[in-house]
Amino acid sequence: MKQTKHIWWTFSPWEADALRQYLEQLALEGWYPESIGTIGMKCRLGEPEKRRYVAVLAPKTSVLTGADSWDAGKFRERCEAAGEPVDWTAPLSEGGTLEDLVKADALADTALYAAVGTWAAAYGCTLTDAERNTLPERHYAYLTLEQGRHLTETGVQYAKLYALYETPGSALAPTESELTLFEQQTAPLTAERLLIPFESDREAARQKAAELFAHLNTAADPSAAFDALLAETGGALLEEADWTPSLQDAAAALEPGQFSGIIETENGFVILRRLPADRDALRGAYFDSLLQDTADASEIRVTSAYETLRPAAFWTALKQASG
């Protein structure tokens, strides 16, 4: 049985609770989200168990932007102020109002769904009559049956496109050079750290670091030696807060699997080992980025229905309908 699978992303920002329930059901089946892209998520197979999730969908974020992106930070600020009345007309620091932001995000999502349809037609991934007849009947909150069916069809098209993308030699299959370039441009640095703290004797720490570095350079298997030193010294993966400009520069100069020289930091002497990017996650992120590029390059024409759309009025009606 495959250990990973991609699932079409079909939950709107208004359906966070439905997403929570869906993730909890997946956990009972042994599937756990590993990464979430623009319109899909990758799950890995594990032991089934009962889990509880809390789903909060941050607009304009993805596996590429990360939890510490500017947009995610602004969203967290809004969450912290969730107990206050929403002022849809208040100016935002990035320009416009909250109402403008919601409308722009909705338009961008629509362009992305349209890009899936454009690709499906171009690469022979549209649905056959037989596939349409076997689509599950799913009811989406706040959508008509026709709109919901169209969204479901788009999800199936996305899955067919991704299967084609993962087929070696196909028209959508990425080359290794494309993935490597994408990794260089977008993948975050990941590295493990051996830390020799200064404690009360800086020179003793310097000597200890030199001994460890010499041991790594003379070991028959430097990788195994680094693993052993990690276990002995309590070394670990560098967290977001641990990165400094000097550590970033040192890690960026390494190839995956290589270890650095001795780096002096505020807390002690450090030896880094750069880790390779998660290739599976990278492939999924590259696919989503290609779709996003297509959507971004689209010519968008809006109708009067969009011009007269008022998210504030919709939000009020939504809260009233939800009780």
For the chain, which domains are there?
Answer: 4-173+281-321 (no CATH), 189-274 (3.10.50.40)
Of 285, 237, 296, whose CA–CA distance to 108 is shortest? 296
Q: Is the alpha carbon torsion for 137, 141, 145, 150 positive or negative?
A: negative
Q: Is-contact 275 256, C-beta < 8 A?
A: yes
Which token pair is 284? 């999924």
Q: Is-contact 19 55, C-beta < 8 A?
A: yes
pLDDT at 80: 53
pLDDT at 65: 42
pLDDT at 101: 84
pLDDT at 40: 67
pLDDT at 249: 92
Q: Is-contact 49 27, C-beta < 8 A?
A: yes
pLDDT at 64: 39
Instruction: Give the three-class secondary structure for 256.
Output: coil
Helix, strand, coil % over all residues of the chain, rounded to 5: 50, 10, 40
Distances (CA, A) of 130 to 133, 158, 217: 5, 17, 62
Task: Give the position of tokens 């001994």.
Answer: 211
Which residues of the chain register pLDDT less than 70? Answer: 1-4, 6, 8-17, 35-40, 56-85, 140-141, 319, 322-323
Give pTM, 2 decimals: 0.65
CA–CA distance, 41 with 8 (Å, rounded to integer): 7
Beta-bridge partner residues of 237: 192
